[in-house]
């Protein structure tokens, strides 16, 4: 279990709140990757929720623990040291401010590119305290989670009878893949401050609602609540925490590639009062020049694309002009 010291809330005024929702939602699909029905269940989950949990995923928990401990050490550094690893554009340390357009949350984080060259060169300032240990942990974790995500994507293509079966996974494996990795720390909030927010019947927002622009993402966190997803009817539900598993989100690009069959899931994180939350998120993205368009072998005869044509580079550029909670895909929907 990770417990970080409580920070000073000097910047509390920038923190957003939202209305709380009811208890934990127990109907999140749980998919055992070793189960022979896994392929079918993944596709059903992507259609219904755009979200599911995977168990028996094959990623070593020792590796996960090593990375979590390195992350905790980093976030414990004095603020000045952490600030030296920022700003996070495109990669580095960020504090409370998310993206370039004025979004804020009760979170500090590290953003990385995933190509090994980046990790060995540009991010030396990130790995300041324990350069070798931290860098290795990040590299090994990304490789292991990427493999697991490729396996999931190949189960999807198998189930949908799309050929070749690596048509999605190759984009994550490509050395030019524009994938990201993010370490988030949602500090515990001093009780008195939290009470002040709650008196008004609200919750503190750690990371505001959004969809991920990429193909697919994998979130793993310590054993804290906070992650919520929006169901098809728009209701927000809380995801029961499970630090041994990964939670998978369908991103906007996969929604397009399946011509809307899969839904990119809106999600957010509420900052928890009693414990700090540490999460690690791998965002599997395509190479910049890749066309994001419905997979031809998935289209029925006469079916038309619901989206205008665009490359990942165009979509990414337009995403960075939006606010976190905007519906970014709407701009690319036909009519
Ligand atoms: C959401 C998913 C990933 O965390 C992220 C985020 C990015 C950022 O934090 O810089 C963005 C956000 C995310 C989408 C819209 C833009 C860009 C913040 C923001 C307001 C790293 C990503 O790829 O897109």
Domain ranges of the chain: 29-332
C-alpha to C-alpha distance for 238 and 268, rounded to whole angstroms: 10
Rg (CA), the chain: 19
Determine the pLDDT at residue 93: 92
How far apart, in Å, are the Cα atoms of 167 and each of 153, 172, 264, 328? 9, 10, 19, 24
Superfamily of domain 29-332: B-lactam Antibiotic, Isopenicillin N Synthase; Chain (2.60.120.330)
CA of 258 to the centre of ligand 1 (A): 22
CA of 179 to the centre of ligand 1 (A): 12
Whether 182 lines ligand 1, by a CB cut-off of 6 Å, is yes
CA of 164 to the centre of ligand 1 (A): 30
Per-residue pLDDT of 153-169, as tens digits, reads 999 999 999 999 999 99
Confidence of residue 203 (pLDDT cuts 50, 70, 90): confident
Confidence of residue 127 (pLDDT cuts 50, 70, 90): confident
Q: Specify whether 232 is catalytic.
A: no
CA of 109 to the centre of ligand 1 (A): 12
Whether 149 lines ligand 1, by a CB cut-off of 6 Å, is no
Determine the pLDDT at residue 123: 58
Which residue's CA is minimally distant from atom 10 of ligand 1? 99
Ligand 1 atom with least separation from CA of 88: 10
Confidence of residue 310 (pLDDT cuts 50, 70, 90): very high
Percent of the chain with pLDDT over 70: 91
Strand intervals (E) in 127-276:
180-186, 203-210, 216-221, 227-230, 236-238, 246-250, 267-270
Task: Give the orientation angle of helix 131-159 with respect to helix 38-48, to 10 degrees.
Answer: 90
Between vectors from CA 239 to CA 243 and to CA 109, what angle results, nearest 5°?
60
Ligand 1 site-directed mutation target among 93, 207, 211, 212, most atoms within 8 Å of CB:
212
Ligand 1 site-directed mutation target among 90, 97, 98, most atoms within 8 Å of CB:
98
Per-residue pLDDT of 53-81, as tens digits, reads 999 999 999 999 999 999 999 999 999 99
Q: Of the segments 87-91, 93-97, 194-198, which one has the largest average pLDDT value?
A: 93-97
Q: Which of 216, 223, 95 is nearest to 151 (CA)?
A: 216
């Amino acid at each position: 279990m990770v417990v970080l010291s409580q920070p000073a809330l000097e910047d509390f005024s920038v923190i957003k709140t939202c209305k709380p929702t009811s208890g934990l939602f127990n109907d999140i699909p749980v998919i055992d990757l070793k189960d022979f029905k896994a392929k079918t269940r993944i596709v059903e989950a992507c259609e219904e929720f755009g979200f599911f949990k995977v168990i028996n995923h094959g990623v070593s928990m020792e590796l996960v623990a090593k990375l979590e401990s390195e992350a905790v050490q980093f976030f414990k550094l004095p603020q000045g040291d952490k600030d030296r690893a920022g700003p996070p554009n495109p990669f580095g340390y960020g504090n409370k401010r998310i993206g370039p357009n004025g979004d804020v949350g009760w979170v500090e984080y590290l953003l990385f590119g995933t190509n090994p060259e980046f990790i060995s060169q540009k991010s030396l300032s990130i790995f300041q305290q324990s350069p070798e240990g931290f860098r290795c942990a990040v590299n090994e974790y990304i490789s292991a989670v990427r493999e697991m995500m490729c396996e999931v994507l190949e189960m999807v293509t198998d189930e949908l009878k799309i050929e070749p079966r690596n048509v999605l996974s190759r984009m994550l494996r490509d050395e030019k893949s524009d994938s990201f990795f993010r370490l988030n720390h949602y500090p515990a909030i001093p009780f008195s401050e939290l009470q002040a927010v709650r008196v008004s019947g609200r919750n503190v927002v750690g990371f505001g609602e959004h969809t991920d622009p990429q193909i697919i993402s994998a979130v793993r966190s310590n054993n804290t609540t906070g992650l919520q997803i929006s169901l098809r009817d728009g209701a927000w539900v809380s995801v029961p925490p499970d630090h041994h598993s990964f939670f998978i989100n369908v991103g906007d690009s996969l929604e397009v590639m399946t011509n809307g069959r899969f839904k990119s899931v809106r999600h957010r994180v509420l900052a928890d009062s009693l414990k700090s939350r540490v999460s690690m998120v791998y965002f599997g993205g395509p190479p910049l020049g890749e066309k994001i368009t419905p997979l031809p072998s998935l289209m029925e005869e006469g079916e038309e694309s619901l989206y205008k044509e665009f490359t990942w580079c165009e979509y990414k550029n337009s995403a960075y002009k939006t606010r976190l909670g905007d519906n970014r895909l709407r701009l690319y929907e036909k009519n």
